[in-house]
Amino acid sequence: MNILVTGGAGYVGSVVAEELIAQGHKVAIIDNLQQGHRDAVPPEAKLIVLDIGQGEALDEVFRQNRFDAAMHMAAETVIEYSMTDPRRYFHNNIIGGINLLDSMLKYDVRKFIFSSSAAVYGEPESTPIEESHPLRPVNAYGESKLMLERILEWYRKAYDLKYISFRYFNAAGASKHRGEDHHPETHLIPNVLRAVLNNENHMNVFGTDHPTKDGTCVRDYVHVADIARAHLLGLERLEEFSGRAFNLGNGEGYSVLEIVAAAEKVTGSKIQTLACPRRAGDPAVLIASAKQATAELGWKAEFPEIQVIISSAWQWLREHPHGYAKPQTIHTS
């Protein structure tokens, strides 16, 4: 199939593109490179540098290329910033998403896989979180993901769009060639590992007074390669499960301090922490129930162990200490 991947120069999108190509699909990537990286794009993929907010330019891409399906991962994602600048998140995540859907309909592309988020649930009433849990986002990022999920359902009813949404929890780890390189980096595991790599004096821990076992946030970490496999399974079974949302996670949560301890084992280094105030919009606990994805899609995490996840990220980071940026060559005379 010919698959369009938006955000395919980013962390999850590039690994999804890698997996699609490995399974014999042809991949075109749309990315504005605001957070993505040219070097993250698989060499077999076609890169189109474009912002999906540009509706007419997006139409032209569909006019010039034939796509069988689209996987949508382009989005503003930093939760903390979504609390201070929600307009940017709604503009980019909602308007951009609608532009993409409208271009698809104009050119009769009706298969869609959406990268949603556990942020649609907000503060959990019970854990692990099932798909039937109330949807009450506590930040604009989660609200934007939920709004687009609801728009997708209306497009399914009105225009026969076939879609599946994946609400994944904390993507982590790396494939052999592609890993996590955000600017700024707000995700825990790469920040812990960079603290070791850069010999930093400490790493910040945001919130030590949450109602959790050690006062720090608890999250469910899922390997990025497992997320990529789920997208392929969703595409294969789209006709059967159109209109559904599936959680992707391991069903087990780790606190910030437990991640630090696991990283210390992987790296063999002691990591000092500094307690900092909570970040706005951060739920205390997010743990997934992925039973539906397992029972219905046949998905199961191949890399559930937290030390395996951290080890893969550590290996990639040591091989790419500057991320995707190439270090400057210093010329001497």
DSSP-derived secondary structure for 182-250: -SS---HHHHHHHHHHTT-S-EEEE-S-SSSSSSS-EE-EEEHHHHHHHHHHHHHTHHHHTTEEEEES-
Distance, CA of 123 to CA of 146 (rounded, Å): 14
Rg (CA), the chain: 19
Closest to 254 measured CA to CA, from 283, 231, 209, 220:
220
Q: Is 155 a catalytic residue?
A: no
Helix (H, G, I), strand (E, B) or coil at 86: helix
Output the CA angle 43-62-92, nearest 5 degrees: 85
Helix (H, G, I), strand (E, B) or coil at 170: strand
Report helix angle 224-236 to 11-22, nearest 10: 60
Selecting among 11, 89, 141, 168, the annotated active-site residue is: 141
Q: Which residues are catalytic?
A: 141
